[in-house]
Amino acid sequence: MKITCTKCFTEVTVNSDNFNKELLETSEREMGSENFYEINSGEIICNNCKTNMSVQFNVWEYPIGVINYFEQYETNGVITELPDFSRFIIDHE
């Protein structure tokens, strides 16, 4: 993922492997399960001005294996390249 600091406009590349993922809700629908995840980046420190940025995603997977919808919330930064959401949902078969 890439995020640009809103204070100094430096772009920071972030490894999304360490993002905290939580499966908050599973509901049954016509095409099977729908999963709702909350994904948090934790602290992202700007390389240049040391501003503390963070992002959160709310992600809905439905049907299984497909990202149906997501919302993004950024603090002190603007996302310039989204993470690959599929990596957050692959650990169930």
Which stretches of the chain bind Zn ion, using CB under 5 A? 5, 7-8, 10, 46, 48-49, 51
What is the distance between the alpha carbons of residues 12 and 17, in angstroms, rounded to a whole number? 15
Give the Cα-Cα-Cα angle 4, 10, 13 (nearest 5 degrees).
60
Q: Could you tell me the smallest distance in angstroms from the CB atom of residue 11 to Zn ion? A: 10
Exposed / middle / buried, residue 74 (Cβ in 10 Å: 0-12, 13-18, 19+): middle
Nearer to Zn ion, 10 or 58 (CB): 10
Q: Could you tell me the smallest distance in angstroms from the CB atom of residue 13 to Zn ion? A: 14
Q: Could you tell me the smallest distance in angstroms from the CB atom of residue 52 to Zn ion? A: 10
